[in-house]
Amino acid sequence: MVQDLISYPDPTVRLISANVRFFNDELTQWITDMRDTMVANDLDALSAILIGIQQSIIVIKEGDQYTPYINPRFLKHSDMQTYTERSIYYPGISVDVDRYNKITAMYEDEKGISCYRDLEGEDARIFQQHLDYCFGSTFVDRVDRDMKQRIHDHLEFGLVKDGGSCPIIFYRDYFKRGAKYLILTILLTFVVPFFGSVQANEWIYVLDKYLIAGALLLMIGYFFYAQYESQLYKQCTSCQIGNILGTLAILLGQLAIVSTGVFFWVAP
């Protein structure tokens, strides 16, 4: 059945959608209503909250098929690019938004079976935009302060407020950046054995061990502070535990590689 789309200034968009727990006839009806509403409004994608269903469901049109993504998340991401987006909720507004161009989506199908898909380009962008709705967020939360103020002034009642929004800066990123800088510094020391003396090698080897320990401590700090921010900004897709763990795994992998180089190449 075709449902009414919620639009500005309905505050329902700020509700955080609950995970689907029961894969039953009610879920099938929700997905059917979403598909019918998409057909009636010529939409390529729809989040359940946009028809007033507070459940974590996205339906995306893929060719002639309408694919449901239930309890969607994404695990891996890369290649940040800027896209111009329009919103179902804020009609008549378009903004430039940074999105990952490549992601690995994790979700469940209508039978509750876990699925994974690599999405790229426009498919990845659409998934991320509608995932934002599931977390009570819109593209307005992803623009800088000046643009947000301009949108606020343009709208009749200002921006819809409730429950906070994704911050422009995450402080956990300082931990991540520090760890990356230490790893890069360790890599630069790999040239010392080519030109340095034995004494220089010994000094660099000791320094590298301190740098490795420092990078590891920053990663531990990243993990715990990211946990804090994930509770503080539950509506932000970048605060998902899968993203946090994925970032940490990449950092640990990089540290493991350079550590191996230190002990087999730099060590006197």
Query: 70 in helix, strand or coil?
Result: strand
What one-character DSSP code corresponds to residue 156? T
Q: If the chain, 268 residues long, is cut into consecutive pieces of 10 residues, what is the mean pLDDT of each piece? A: 90 89 95 96 96 96 94 91 91 91 95 95 95 90 87 82 55 90 91 73 87 94 85 60 83 92 78
Q: Smallest Cα–Cα separation from 12: which of 58, 49, 65, 44? A: 49
Q: Give the pLDDT score at 164.
A: 46
Q: Give the pLDDT score at 234.
A: 56
Q: Give the pLDDT score at 166.
A: 56
- How much is the pTM? 0.62
Positive or negative: CA dihedral 70, 73, 76, 80:
positive
Positive or negative: CA dihedral 6, 7, 9, 12:
positive
Q: Smallest Cα–Cα separation from 128: which of 174, 179, 69? A: 69
Query: Which tokens sit at 184?
Result: 């890069």
> Measured between alpha carbons, how far is 133 from 50 in angstroms, rounded to an integer?
8
